[in-house]
Amino acid sequence: MSQSEEVSMASGSTNRFFASLWTCLLAGSLLLVNCILVRVEAAKGDANPSVRPGDDFYGYANGEWLAHVSLPAGQHTYDNRIMMAEKTRDRVRGLIQESAAAHVPSGSVAQKVGDYYASFTNEADIEAKGFAPLTDEMGRISAIANRSTLSAYLGTTLIREVDGLTANSDHVFGVWVNQGFEDADHNLPHLWQGGLGLTESGRYLDSSPQAVELRVKYQAHVAAVLRLAGLADSDTRATSTVRLESRIARAFAPDSDAADVFKQNNPWKREDFNRKAPGIDWDAYFQSAGLAKLSSFLVWQPSAVIGVSALVGSEDIEAWKDYLRFHLIEHYAQVLPKAVRTEGSNFYGEILSGGAEAPDRVDEAIDATNGALGEAVGQLYTERYFSADAKRRAQAMARDLVTAYRGRIANLTWMSPSTREKALAKLAALEIDVGYPDTWIDYSTLKIVPNDAFGNMKRAEGFYHKRDLAKLNQPVNPVEWPLNVQVPGAVIMFSPNAEFFSAAILQPPYFDAEGDSASNYGSAGAGMAHEITHSFDELGNIYDARGRLRLWWSDEDRSRFHREAEKLAVQLDGYCPFADLCLKGKQVLGESVADLAGLLVAHDAYVLSLKGKAHVVIDGLTGEQRFFRAFAQRWRRVQNETALRKQITTDTHPPGEYRSDTVRNIDAWYKAFKVAPTDKLYLKPDARVRVW
């Protein structure tokens, strides 16, 4: 599973910390949307034909756009992705609010979407109910009397809060149902560590003055939340809660493990929990989690399971109960009275993420509706903005890309014949889904009503949990969408072997369902082929055709690949936007090789799509010219110097201008724009890098 750079935020997470970050990211910049929309429609108007393409291709393709787009106030970067995210968010907001205002048939998708939103924005109702919605669950926590009842309660908190994309659970463990690391035939529960209010274990263990201060503020936040919920002695309870969390933090796997998926492949049998991780009454735990009958699990961080279980055995039961009360309130804070939400946004927004504005309730409601009813909103989105014809057109392009890739792989010189065979088999098995799912989630059993924000959220969680449990008895479904189609993004799953490109990322300027296909292949096509490359490069090398964790390159393949790629690193090293700062070829090499492969493959696919017919000339430009111009326009970006320097120093992607300069390695670009040896971007044929 991998999150590609195309993904802004995995949807479906109920983790309020991440949800509010997302909100803040978008909140400040909505004003610019309308003026940008007008420009985007006209790719031609964005170019500056007075610039010689062979001297400055990025400036030629984007000159007008760069001259007229300025950074929105408070932002350090602005580009197509940000523009699309804002535009899409406006559209989604409109659809959700329309559903809330309209009289739609009860039980319909629009009714559920509208009523979820309406309940969330019905603040008077939420205030009037106070903390009453938590009464039952608070009673269950108060009734915990021993290790067994504590274990049973903890089992009820094992719900889906994590997936291959969002690695944090706000309960002690989170579960994700997916195929096994080595077993592509069965879905298994993947168990993750969690339960830390400060989310990162380092924040509890670090002894720096800043970390100590953060913990003091966190403890004050815990006390404030407990006090608001009417619990006496909130300071004492907060002290023991933070102490317990610090002990949980000590059991967390080191952050460095997260980068190594082989370390997460820890198959545990049911009996291993008793043997390896004493403390929790595992029978009681799995019984209440609904997993009593299962024999096989995947434990991503064994140290956390062992450590938390030991703490269940050793810590004071009352300390656990206060910890659980606090996290129960935090988990549902968004549907509880405003005082607790304000306390949360003060702490998480201002203190933890550094001065973000308090989130707007409408934004929170949009996020929550997308999270709880992602595919319901997705249906409304695609009905209006992404037709079945658009999907068919994107599918045809994806098919051309795969055909083109097959040709590239078949001719690769750095792959040994046996590795090439595995690559071709993996390509043949790769599932590419574009636009939206063929089959949407059926929400008919999920009851959503207009005046019950808490109940709606709880029922939605129960709905997904039930669905997850059912999946444990079903075959692996490689076409289950891991992202919302109304979020501009793409996801490479690896396991199963599948890639997803949302309807929202298939929009202008990347893809225009009614527009010029040369531009579509040059922009969206090159982007998709970039992602497909990751399934076969050093990232994808660790998962086979069925998404099983295994290395399929040989050492010889790897060294030959590096030898080829090295040439590109040298080329990138030569780009110096500042007198004192050049790109670091090695740092951006993986992404730049994918850019190069993406462009080569997309160009092959474009030629295939013509089926031997001549290029149409539009606005005086040939298809080839429009293809490359769209590629350069894909990467346009304005950013301030600090942001640009930071990108060069830390990002694995080069700045847009140099991504656009990938064209220098493509023979067809020279032909399309008659680029001559005297032009600044000219590379001799033997200096052009291929790799793929």
Nearest distance in Å: CB 540, Zn ion: 11
Helix or strand holding residue 265 (H, E): none
CB of 537 to Zn ion, least distance (A): 9
Q: For the window 271-310, what string marks contact with Zn ion as x by the rule CB under 5 A?
A: ----------------------------------------
Count of positions on this chain that bind Zn ion (CB under 5 A): 2
Rounded Cα distance between 296 and 269, Å, is: 5
In the complex with Zn ion, the residue whose CB is nearer, 409 or 594, is: 594
Beta carbon nearer to Zn ion, 625 or 662: 662
| Integer Cα distance of 483 and 216 in angstroms | 37
Which of positions 559-598 make contact with Zn ion (CB under 5 A)?
Answer: 591, 594
Q: Which is nearer to Zn ion, 512 or 591 (CB)?
A: 591
The CB-of-93 to Zn ion minimum distance in angstroms stands at: 29
Judged by DSSP in three states, 175 sits in strand
What residue type is 559 in one-letter code? S
Q: The tokens of 305 are what?
A: 């399971």
Distance between CA 469 and CA 472 in Å, rounded? 5
Residue 654 CB, nearest distance to Zn ion (Å)? 11
Q: How far is the CB of 589 from Zn ion (least distance, A)?
A: 11
Distance CA 597, CA 575 (A): 20
Looking at the Cβ atoms of 92 and 589, the one nearer to Zn ion is 589
Distance CA 320, CA 240 (A): 9
For Zn ion, the closer CB: 172 or 526? 526
Q: Rounded to whole angstroms, what are the CA distances from 477 to 191, 377, 395, 484, 505? A: 19, 22, 19, 17, 23
Q: Say how many C-beta atoms besides its own lie within 10 A of residue 101's C-beta.
A: 11
Please say whether the beta carbons of 440 and 378 come within 8 A: yes
Tell me the three state secondary structure of residue 442.
coil
The answer to whether 242 and 249 are in contact (CB under 8 A) is: no
| Nearer of residues 538 and 566 to Zn ion, judged by Cβ | 538
In the complex, the smallest distance separating the C-beta of residue 488 from Zn ion, rounded to whole angstroms, is 15
Q: Give just the sign of the alpha carbon dihedral 187, 154, 344, 351.
A: negative
Residue 601 near Zn ion by CB under 5 A: no
Q: Is the peptide bond before 496 cis (omega within 30 degrees of 0)?
A: yes
Site for Zn ion in 441-480 (CB under 5 A): none
Nearest CB to Zn ion, comparing residues 19 and 594: 594
Q: Closest distance between Zn ion and the C-beta of residue 31, in Å? A: 31
| Smaller CB separation from Zn ion, 133 or 540 | 540
Q: Which is nearer to Zn ion, 189 or 540 (CB)?
A: 540
CB of 2 to Zn ion, least distance (A): 9
Least distance from Zn ion to the Cβ atom of residue 651, Å = 11
Nearest distance from C-beta of residue 530 to Zn ion, angstroms: 6
List, edge to edge, every strand of the sheet that includes 431-435. Answer: 2-3, 490-492, 498-502, 431-435
Name the residue nearer to Zn ion (CB basis): 56 or 591: 591
Q: Please report how close the Cβ of residue 529 comes to Zn ion at its closest, in angstroms.
A: 11
Nearest residue to 372 via CA among 444, 256, 459, 262: 459
Write the CB contacts of 225 (distance below 8 Å, at least 6 apart in sequence).
326, 329, 330, 333, 340, 343, 344
Spatial distance between the Cα atoms of 110 and 503, rounded to a whole number of angstroms: 19
CB of 659 to Zn ion, least distance (A): 11
Within residues 389-428, the interface with Zn ion by CB under 5 A covers none
Q: At what angle do helices 109-121 and 361-372 cross, to 10 degrees?
A: 140
Sites for Zn ion among residues 136-165 (CB under 5 A): none
Among residues 499 and 624, whose Cβ is nearest to Zn ion? 499
The 307-346 contact track toward Zn ion, x by CB under 5 A, reads: ----------------------------------------
Nearest to 333 by CA among 196, 205, 213, 226: 226
CB of 599 to Zn ion, least distance (A): 13
Are 536 and 412 in contact, with CB atoms under 8 Å apart? Answer: no
CB 375 within 8 A of CB 481: yes
Site for Zn ion in 233-262 (CB under 5 A): none
Task: Compute the least distance from the CB of residue 46 to Zn ion, in Å.
Answer: 24
Q: Which is nearer to Zn ion, 558 or 653 (CB)?
A: 653
Structure tokens at 418: 């046996």
- Cβ nearer to Zn ion, comparing 499 with 591: 591
CB closer to Zn ion, 165 vs 277: 165
Q: What is the DSSP string of 202-234?
A: HHHH--SHHHHHHHHHHHHHHHHHHHHTT-SSH
Distance CA 522, CA 509 (A): 11
Question: Using CB under 5 A as the criterion, which residues of the chain lie in contact with Zn ion when the complex forms?
Answer: 591, 594
